[in-house]
Amino acid sequence: MTFVEKVCVLGAGSTKYGKLADSIADITTQASVAAIESAGISPKEIKASYISNVFGVADKQVHIGPVLMSRLGIPDKPSLTIESACGSGSVSFREAYANVAAGFYDCLLVTGVEKVTHTGTEWTTTYFAYCSDFFYEGQAGASFPGLFASMARAYMTEFNTTEEDFARVAVKNHDNGVLNPKAHMQKKITIDDVLNSAVVASPLKLFDCCPFSDGASSVILCSEKFAKEHGGDYVECIGSGRGGSPAALQGRDHMTTIPSTKLAAADAYKMAGITAKDVDFAEVHDCFTIAEVVDTEDLGFFEKGKGVEAVREGRTALNSDISINPSGGLKSKGHPIGATGVGQVVEVYDQLTGNAGERTVKDAKIGLTHNFGATGASCAVHVFQSV
Amino acid sequence: MTFVEKVCVLGAGSTKYGKLADSIADITTQASVAAIESAGISPKEIKASYISNVFGVADKQVHIGPVLMSRLGIPDKPSLTIESACGSGSVSFREAYANVAAGFYDCLLVTGVEKVTHTGTEWTTTYFAYCSDFFYEGQAGASFPGLFASMARAYMTEFNTTEEDFARVAVKNHDNGVLNPKAHMQKKITIDDVLNSAVVASPLKLFDCCPFSDGASSVILCSEKFAKEHGGDYVECIGSGRGGSPAALQGRDHMTTIPSTKLAAADAYKMAGITAKDVDFAEVHDCFTIAEVVDTEDLGFFEKGKGVEAVREGRTALNSDISINPSGGLKSKGHPIGATGVGQVVEVYDQLTGNAGERTVKDAKIGLTHNFGATGASCAVHVFQSV
């Protein structure tokens, strides 16, 4: 890859995540305005918008880009929507990153959004299942809880792990989420709460699963030159990587590793000139507790099969060896699917600019975001550095 | 903008447009394989895929990128889906263009696809209306035929034009479509056929409207170096521009011009170092007959208010002053919305490499594609040159 410009995040904003009453257009605008204000710029400085959204149909507003631009008073500026299932936010960020790095645009707005809870559990589950390899998975009844349950069962068999081990991931992330005023689930839970919650797809129980959330998150992405000239706090994006996996789980060599994560991480680390050891904290894709365990291994934080041990020993808790999901993660912060990857960048921005309050990772210099689509069929990893 | 590489189209392929029985995954794959074969490359040469699709939900397959990559035998390669309503194809092409121009990737697959006809007219119309500014338009009953009818009525009033004038656009495009074996509507029509067809939204009648179509189109986009090393015929993309308009018609200063087209064209002409006079043929967004008239004015081919006169005098017919929609356009070739913008590039490739058969624009050197979303809220224009 060729780079003309260093890429920075100059501002960030989010709505609360949860069941929201406002429309998809309203929450998209709210997060965008918050990011623009955080950056201390005028909307007219924005050259184009990258929006990540999967199910605009759920709230009857597809082609939301021009609606947002009109509301921001810049209807002449181009926009587009990117979908890569639950990984849409990180892919949208990546496209914006590439355009700034190439010198095409010096200032871009990246906004992720999803509004689904009003459709109810049945419709939300159905929509989400359309993101699997539907011919082989969704239409055979394998929605995401079932697919991740298969991964969890395989992991338990391969590495002699218990349901209690997975439960610890949920407890940790809820502990962090309590410290995040924008989190969907601001409630401490115990291992017993998880183990005693309703079985969704054995061995996964309700509290092993992230919630369906509405929400929007937004960041301003710009060149280093623009950031220096326009003011406030910024962080630098020093690595960006992407990768793919076979769409259906049945097509993979192993059920307990996600190839796209490894590919994306290798690219991002190489570009950033770092190794996994250099990462102070990471926002990883914990749609289900098993996912976080697999992620932290595939990202190179722990050896294969040792991710559970790390959780057991508290090494992934806030301000331990490596703080995993200080925001609360998808599990507690929530998972408005199109917004999630952008929301991870908001957390990194807040952490590295001293705006993370009680959940601050002390002395953090390098943060990583990891966000995938479906069961990891697509993935993007980004590495950020404080300046 | 900064450019590291010249960007070329090395291969192109399409399914037939129309009511198709195969699944969205099948037609996506068919078009992609056709483009890869046309380019004379191996799938493994592809570094990433850009897919344009709006309503994956209609055929229950969202996140189609990894499904396509798996079917092509390259599941490790990243992919993403771009939505910009009916302009998705050109926006997807633009993103791929930017990534090749920047030197990020030397070879990309761009595939547009839509599969909707099986949902029926009511659902298709409903889905499409979600692409308007739904709060102000769609939910008030203003679906796209009504919105374009408002534009047509305003045009008739402002420029003293008749319904017969619009009908001539349909007749011309059907004349061209008869020469295109992949066109949805391969049928000659007369002015009387148009005038006597059912009123959809006065003054627009059924034959003023493009059909709902299924279909997929695909091109291989690469650096000039890659094109020269890998063989076959290629054309160069010498200009790329984007623009936006207020999302709702009510927000615009005029009803008879589309600001995003003018902005996108100005950018594309400037980058290509040409003027409208240099264009030999253009594939323009004729979702309704009024749209083609407005497009040809906004693109600078004719003065404001003179587009109708040009059609009346046959100046936009095949091998006249400027061949507009030699493929048959959306009106006759069909409009599988996510595929349309990519399909326009397929036509340009076929024209400039001598593969357009009976509809060949003689001695053509420069072709233009113009594709917008909704009522022109978003737009992209691309300029191509034979080599």
CA dihedral A14, A17, A21, A24 (to 10 degrees): 60
B56: distance to nearest CA of chain A, Å?
A: 8
CB nearest to B69's CB, from A81, A134, A244: A244
Q: Among residues of chain A, what percentage have pLDDT more than 90?
A: 98
Structure tokens belonging to residue B322: 């400027």
CB nearest to B2's CB, from A84, A104, A248: A104
CB nearest to A83's CB, from B62, B104, B378: B62
Return the residue of B nearest to A61 by Cα: B130
Distance separating alpha carbons of residues B242 and A79, to the nearest angstrom: 9
Structure tokens belonging to residue A181: 């005023």
Do B244 and A81 count as a contact with CB atoms less than 8 A apart? no
Q: CB-side exposure of B12: number of CA atoms within 13 Å?
A: 24
Q: Among residues of chain A, what percentage have pLDDT more than 70?
A: 99
Q: What is the 3-state secondary structure (H, E, C) of A358-385?
A: HHCCCCCCEEEEEEEECCCCEEEEEEEE
Structure tokens belonging to residue A105: 């645009």
Return the residue of A nearest to B55 by Cα: A57
Distance separating alpha carbons of residues A103 and A186, to the nearest angstrom: 41
Mean pLDDT value of segment A20-32: 98
B40, amino acid identity: G
Distance separating alpha carbons of residues B167 and B195, to the nearest angstrom: 7
**A86 included as an active-site residue:** yes
Return the residue of A nearest to B59 by Cα: A130
Name the superfamily (CATH) of residues A150-208+237-386: Thiolase/Chalcone synthase (3.40.47.10)
pLDDT given for residue B90 in this prediction: 98
Per-residue pLDDT of chain B (387 residues; tens, 9 = 90+): 567 899 999 999 999 999 999 999 999 999 999 999 999 999 999 999 999 999 999 999 999 999 999 999 999 999 999 999 999 999 999 999 999 999 999 999 999 999 999 999 999 999 999 999 999 999 999 999 999 999 999 999 999 999 999 999 999 999 999 999 999 999 999 999 999 999 999 999 999 999 999 999 999 999 999 999 997 899 999 999 999 999 999 999 999 999 999 999 999 999 999 999 999 999 999 999 999 999 999 999 999 999 999 999 999 999 999 999 999 999 999 999 999 999 999 999 999 999 999 999 999 999 999 999 999 999 999 999 999
Position A352 pLDDT exceeds 80: yes
A295: distance to nearest CA of chain B, Å?
A: 17
Return the residue of A nearest to B80 by Cα: A84
Do B66 and A373 count as a contact with CB atoms less than 8 A apart? yes
- ipTM value, please give it: 0.97
B82: distance to nearest CA of chain A, Å?
A: 5
Beta bridge partners of A13: A218
Do A23 and B242 count as a contact with CB atoms less than 8 A apart? no
Model confidence over A40-66: pLDDT tens digits? Answer: 999 999 999 999 999 999 999 999 999
pLDDT given for residue A3 in this prediction: 78
Do B79 and A1 count as a contact with CB atoms less than 8 A apart? no
Do A60 and B103 count as a contact with CB atoms less than 8 A apart? no
Model confidence over B56-71: pLDDT tens digits? Answer: 999 999 999 999 999 9
CB nearest to B247's CB, from A4, A75, A135: A75
Instruction: Tell me which of B23, B52, B60, B80 to substitute to probe the interface with A (most A C-beta atoms closer than 10 Å).
Output: B80
> Active-site residue among B86, B107, B222, B287?
B86
pLDDT given for residue B146 in this prediction: 97
Do A25 and B135 count as a contact with CB atoms less than 8 A apart? yes
- A159 contact partners, CB below 8 Å, separation of at least 6: A256, A305, A308
Distance separating alpha carbons of residues A111 and A331, to the nearest angstrom: 21
> Active-site residue among B174, B184, B335, B382?
B335
pLDDT given for residue B3 in this prediction: 77
- From residue A371, give the alpha-carbon distance in Å to each of A91, A243, A312, A340, A386: 9, 11, 23, 8, 21
Q: Where are the beta strands (DSSP E) in B15-131?
A: 48-52, 79-83, 107-114
Domains A7-119+213-235 and A150-208+237-386 share a fold: yes
Distance separating alpha carbons of residues B232 and B86, to the nearest angstrom: 31
Residues of chain B with Cβ-Cβ distance to A60 below 8 Å are 130, 134, 138-139
CATH of A7-119+213-235, one of 3.40.47.10, 3.40.50.12280, 3.30.360.10, 3.90.470.10: 3.40.47.10
Residues of chain B with Cβ-Cβ distance to A61 below 8 Å are 130, 134-135
Of chain B, the end-to-end C-alpha distance in Å amounts to 23
Do B244 and A131 count as a contact with CB atoms less than 8 A apart? no
How do strand B281-283 and strand B323-324 relate by DSSP bridges?
parallel
Structure tokens belonging to residue A223: 């060149």
Distance separating alpha carbons of residues A320 and B344, to the nearest angstrom: 55
Model confidence over A173-193: pLDDT tens digits? Answer: 999 999 999 999 999 999 999
- Cβ burial of A62 (10 Å; 0-12, 13-18, 19+) is buried
Closest CA to A99 of A75, A72, A84, A78: A78
How do strand B204-205 and strand B199-201 relate by DSSP bridges?
antiparallel
Q: CB-side exposure of B206: number of CA atoms within 13 Å?
A: 7
Confidence tier at A231 by pLDDT (50, 70, 90):
confident
A332: distance to nearest CA of chain B, Å?
A: 25
Whole-number average pLDDT of chain A: 97
- Cβ burial of A229 (10 Å; 0-12, 13-18, 19+) is exposed
Position A2 pLDDT exceeds 70: no
Q: What is the 3-state secondary structure (H, E, C) of A126-153?
A: HHHHCCCCCCCCHHHCCCHHHHHHHHHH
Closest CA to B384 of B254, B279, B245: B279
pLDDT given for residue B231 in this prediction: 75
pLDDT given for residue B387 in this prediction: 95
pLDDT given for residue B2 in this prediction: 62
Structure tokens belonging to residue A230: 């326009």
Instruction: Tell me which of B1, B57, B63 to substitute to probe the interface with A (most A C-beta atoms closer than 10 Å).
Output: B63
Do A56 and B373 count as a contact with CB atoms less than 8 A apart? no
Closest CA to B234 of B100, B381, B329, B74: B100
Domain ranges of chain A: 7-119+213-235, 150-208+237-386
Closest CA to A263 of A246, A249, A283, A286: A246
Distance separating alpha carbons of residues A262 and B53, to the nearest angstrom: 28
Do A378 and B83 count as a contact with CB atoms less than 8 A apart? no
B386: distance to nearest CA of chain A, Å?
A: 25
Distance separating alpha carbons of residues B376 and B367, to the nearest angstrom: 21
DSSP 8-state code for residue B256 = S
Distance separating alpha carbons of residues B341 and B331, to the nearest angstrom: 14
Distance separating alpha carbons of residues A142 and B211, to the nearest angstrom: 35
B355: distance to nearest CA of chain A, Å?
A: 32
pLDDT given for residue A4 in this prediction: 84
How many CB pairs below 8 A link A and B?
Answer: 218
Structure tokens belonging to residue B66: 């990894």
Do A101 and B98 count as a contact with CB atoms less than 8 A apart? no
Distance separating alpha carbons of residues A371 and A149, to the nearest angstrom: 19
B174, amino acid identity: H
Write the class of the CATH domain B142-204+238-386.
alpha beta
- From residue B353, give the alpha-carbon distance in Å to each of A135, B96, B159, B233, B365: 37, 21, 39, 6, 10
Distance separating alpha carbons of residues B299 and A90, to the nearest angstrom: 35
- From residue A93, give the alpha-carbon distance in Å to each of A68, A124, B80, B289: 17, 25, 12, 38
**B86 included as an active-site residue:** yes
CB nearest to A134's CB, from B61, B74, B132: B61
DSSP 8-state code for residue B212 = P
Helix (H, G, I), strand (E, B) or coil at A296: helix
- Cβ burial of A357 (10 Å; 0-12, 13-18, 19+) is exposed
- A281 contact partners, CB below 8 Å, separation of at least 6: A322, A323, A324, A326, A351, A361, A364, A367, A368
CB nearest to A247's CB, from B66, B80, B83: B66
Do A102 and B243 count as a contact with CB atoms less than 8 A apart? no
Instruction: Tell me which of A83, A128, A258 to substitute to probe the interface with B (most B C-beta atoms closer than 10 Å).
Output: A83
CB nearest to B131's CB, from A63, A133, A243: A63
Closest CA to B75 of B37, B113, B103, B49: B49
Q: Among residues of chain B, what percentage have pLDDT more than 90?
A: 98
Q: Where are the alpha helices (DSSP H) in B40-87?
A: 64-71
Beta bridge partners of A240: A382
pLDDT given for residue A300 in this prediction: 98
